[in-house]
Structure 1
């Protein structure tokens, strides 16, 4: 049975289920940080694939209080929309005054008022089948060594926060690095297998959403090799790409050449080592897989399935999921250099 949560958090969870049932990918409680400063949390972050070349990102500010201060929240969420470069901004409020909706319309902020919130209470029963964000965090906290052992909660929240900072190769690569940590916990901490797998599945869904967004710009590259090279370049060098990264490296090493003894030799060796390090990255595995049109068409659905795996109250493994989900995780295992069969054997629960 679902753990009791406070009124505000329950409203957030009910709204999350409403948007999930309407085809959105939904993340809740996204930390928004700017240059090291914790600014706020985004109550709901919505992502929708509206067409093969169009995506929408929406943010929802939710206030379920006696005095919701709806007018002020409209100003707030409008500024937050600009900060995170979202397509749409919404507020959900218990306020039922028509003036609030009118003011929201004037500022291009959609208002989900008290009448709407009353109608969606039917979705409360769906809370029984899903863990809330608070329960996931509680599971992390129940591992007494989680802070000393790599600070699990901070890493998980960092992964979440990347959704608000932009869907791109830089953040995809950061997510891949964070997820490697949790995959290693799956393999080495048998007592924490369930929670580490849940977090692994959640971050896999963030990766899938990033890739669905990235492919929007590659939709017109009909040639398979062009798509593959674009993905290879992105996974290896990030947003800046190979040319810009090499320009930065060359500029940095030019100082070594000019001002160090044997500078030319040292710079040449450094340039060679850096190049070999980039080339040794197994990004071809990811590029080969994600450049396939069939994979790209299914990656949004895969994200939805992975999100559900992460929060199913009755925990389920990905090995019982669709072929697309199993393939997605299999290619990540290949990228991390983990044997697929060994991993499957390690996560299966023995009765």
Structure 2
């Protein structure tokens, strides 16, 4: 698909390439949903690792229109940023008025004006033919999933991006973990693997690693043993943790005993709970991600896998850096898929 992009889409791709060049993890067109309703979308989601303990999330609002209403966009973007709990806001507009920049400064919103956009469009950062744009990626996903899987992969992909706007906790980590498991099932035992399957795996793992990086950045002073316990609980029980899970277990056991008068029923519930926890096999993941050497490269690996997911000519996993291959391998082990099928 080589369809010409509309003005707004092109501007978003231009700024996306610009921020990627600055070292940000960038996602375009993330939909913000609340209780099943789509409220709006974020033109660009930026995530950066500015130090060992600091992570920054940025909402970028882009309007490439003749009448951009830049002042109004500052109000809107600033309000959305506060709703999302992000760290800063950028408004990219075709408006060149100095008053717009001053208003942005007054409200702690960075303004990138039309002159800046024009320079980007004329530079080598304006278009990157070595990678797919968002529209090309969605076209490939729809072509493959509609004909081969019979499921809505583009819808899953949009939900996956939208999850970046929610608080990055173990709940989001486990959602991406489950998502990776869904896509690795489509790697064939023999024959060539579809580029779309690889793209979906790369892009899901990239967001998973980003979320783990964010969670672990809050525990920078923890020992490796402390991180092991934290990760084990998080992978097993989500953001609420083991105490909440055990409270629910004990409540269910008490209700069962009260209804039946049988201690055996209560113990059966506790045993079933413990069996389910053991079945998760979270040790594989916790023992890998608690290592300091792994944690140091999570952000970089997330960016590399995101970049690999958008390559025009998709790279096989075995050509990726060793740290990316290690992450793919341990995720294959967790989902009980032969890592030789994943690392080809």
C-alpha contact (below 8 Å) 2:101/2:110 kept by paired residues: yes
C-alpha contact (below 8 Å) 1:53/1:219 kept by paired residues: yes
Displacement after TM superposition at 1:268 (Å): 2.1
Task: Tell me the TM-score normalised to structure 1 length.
Answer: 0.93
Q: Distance in 1 between matches of 2:235 and 2:35?
A: 24
Q: Distance in 1 between matches of 2:312 and 2:247?
A: 50
SS in 1 for 2:218: helix
Q: Distance in 2 between matches of 1:120 and 1:99?
A: 22
Displacement after TM superposition at 1:253 (Å): 3.4
- What residue is the counterpart of 1:9 in the other structure? 9
Q: Distance in 2 between matches of 1:50 and 1:303?
A: 15
- What residue is the counterpart of 1:160 in the other structure? 161
Task: Tell me the TM-score normalised to structure 2 length.
Answer: 0.94
SS in 2 for 1:143: helix
C-alpha contact (below 8 Å) 1:13/1:127 kept by paired residues: no
1:102 equivalent to 2:96? Answer no
1:65-144 matches, within 5 Å, as 65-121=65-121, 122-124=123-125, 126-143=127-144
Aligned-residue CA RMSD in angstroms?
Answer: 1.9
- What residue is the counterpart of 2:249 in the other structure? 249
The count of corresponding residues between Structure 1 and Structure 2 is 343
Displacement after TM superposition at 1:252 (Å): 3.4
**Residues 88-118 of structure 1, C-alpha deviations (whole Å, 9 max, x = no match):** 0111000011111111112211111112111
SS in 2 for 1:42: strand
1:144-155 matches, within 5 Å, as 145=146, 149-155=150-156
Call closer, same or farther: CA 1:94–1:202 in 2, change over 3 Å.
Answer: same
More moved, 243-252 vs 312-321: 243-252
Displacement after TM superposition at 1:126 (Å): 3.8
C-alpha contact (below 8 Å) 1:186/1:192 kept by paired residues: yes
Call closer, same or farther: CA 1:191–1:141 in 2, change over 3 Å.
Answer: farther
Structure 1: unaligned runs, 5 residues or longer: 346-351
Displacement after TM superposition at 1:166 (Å): 1.6
SS in 1 for 2:50: strand
- What residue is the counterpart of 2:305 in the other structure? 306
Q: Distance in 2 between matches of 1:187 and 1:86?
A: 40
Q: Distance in 2 between matches of 1:124 and 1:51?
A: 26
C-alpha contact (below 8 Å) 2:249/2:269 kept by paired residues: no
Displacement after TM superposition at 1:300 (Å): 0.9
1:226 equivalent to 2:226? Answer yes
SS in 1 for 2:297: helix
Call closer, same or farther: CA 1:148–1:302 in 2, change over 3 Å.
Answer: closer
SS in 2 for 1:218: coil
- What residue is the counterpart of 2:42 in the other structure? 42
More moved, 84-93 vs 119-128: 119-128
Q: Distance in 2 between matches of 1:151 and 1:188?
A: 23
Q: Distance in 2 between matches of 1:338 and 1:218?
A: 31
C-alpha contact (below 8 Å) 2:329/2:342 kept by paired residues: no
SS in 2 for 1:186: coil
Q: Distance in 2 between matches of 1:2 and 1:212?
A: 35
